[in-house]
Structure 1
């Protein structure tokens, strides 16, 4: 049996008639930009997030850019965030002319290390971006306290965390603005690129709405340079069909994550994530750390660093290939941290984030999506156990692990 890392096949089969009807409704309406589909989705999504306003846009990347622009972040400003994230987190900061400042992450949660933020704050720091990576919420109680103490605005990167919450409060409702992606693989996925921003402030919502349509408060009046970043009606129609299922899909992801924890907790050299203290994980990915190799790999003393001087990823790469050969597909999020990317080679030369760099050599995302069957998951667990328990004793085969 082949186990994909993600699949929409069953979801499309289950929702096919509703999606067909929604798509045809849009096509027959002749209104493909704006209209009732957009309005319905924005109202419903704001209610789910717990904010007064939601504004649809073209993508999660655009959501970050719109948020930073609306908050007045630009040239000369610094924005603190994590380097262990998708590139768009930092790219959006640079796109508005500001400078991303990276701090390391917690090796247990993979989320921004709250103990390192204060030391990174300078007179140029204007904003903080917590990344709810893999659908796991940052401790927003502590995070917002840091922001308040230093008078900084907060833009939540919720791209992978739709449906997640911290202490019962949805992500995207804590900071000044929440930024969401509806890329097809997300917890709430469209049929292409789509995104949204959420906030409590009406003026902020209006500014982002105008920025998304060329800085235009009314037709053919342009008060500032903006973007062409509208959520189109077809994507909104798809999201309107899917949104009512979000809670049950997230709950199913939590059940899958719990089964992984139960089935893999005693596997040597495999570090598995615990549930967050806030108990509101969205589990867009279930990411483990691979720290043990078979003897014939780990006994080789010559393991040169990988590209960009990062630690060798031979343990993780061996496991990924071995799983693939046995029908289990996995994904690596992310092999190169943002501060080591060529695009930031000059700006962040010399930056060292040891935990982030170590994670990038060890992390592996196991199959997780609501329609993953119990049989498929049991196959993943059985194959992992057979590979690691039988071939990788813990005596001298352990790779270095960030403390």
Structure 2
């Protein structure tokens, strides 16, 4: 089978490699010529795909910027970004552009599958009319389905192979065709009745996490006011063997999914005269967490008889999650910005992020980066960082609970 992949980012490139490893020929397309050129040379831009793994499948992969090369594919998977506009509304620009380009090259008998996270109705209301500009009929001349990506960067216990794959086609035949495609790389395919069910299932997964993270973050702010250790509270509640699932407080949510996906559903809900107040409230709580973290940093310095202005503050970990360099929607960026606005001299250390161009900063080496530091703030707890050594050298505010078991006296969220 020959598989076409549109978009070679955090979703598309791992898919490309997985299909190639399963014995499929792959045509990977991206609009970024630099990315395509690097991939042709065996250089990966995704941490989950090391160069050595990419090199092992290069003979089965063709990387291109030309949509016409997708004409020969048996199936085409669309994995383009679905970001938000500055007004926090869905931006379907990349998705619609890819659909328009595909309309000029798709052929009878192909299977087209959308993986990009979006609101219910996108596949039927937007993809169908654009793809049918080809003169072919969706569900008759070509199969069309939606299958939400479930990539969690840096995770190794659940992979594409072992994570169940939800698939919803325009027709039963479309669902069967898409399921047959994923059978090459997924052990368990979960067929659902429509694309809308599949689209909403992805949003529910991430909104579930967003709401519960907001709940524990709000509890953390209350616990702080009451002088109660929120981490001990979570640990105690977690001993209940039913009816409770632990979520950890932190500086906010990052990544493409959790800070973005809820807004796709709240926007769509307005078409049905429904205000999704619960979901929107969760978003507001999580967006406020960097401000609470700023307040905690200010209090930590104040207790040490130091103002924020002029203090040297080292931010430890700036990617959105531990073990990866993914900066999408990272709350660390907001915290860095707020600290600078208060007059702090800010630096950072992150073994996965060598440079923050927008801040004019490069990651400092450790332990030299601690010299003269008034406060270290652990924003992302990378497993390769020696957090104990940090707490032994300088005043430390731990926003992730990484030092609780060390007995070092670091300040907690």
The reply to whether TM is greater than 0.5 is: no
TM norm structure 2: 0.31
Tell me which of the two structures has the higher relative contact order, counting C-alpha pairs closer than 8 angstroms and 6 or more residues apart: 1
Which of the two has higher C-alpha Rg?
A: 2
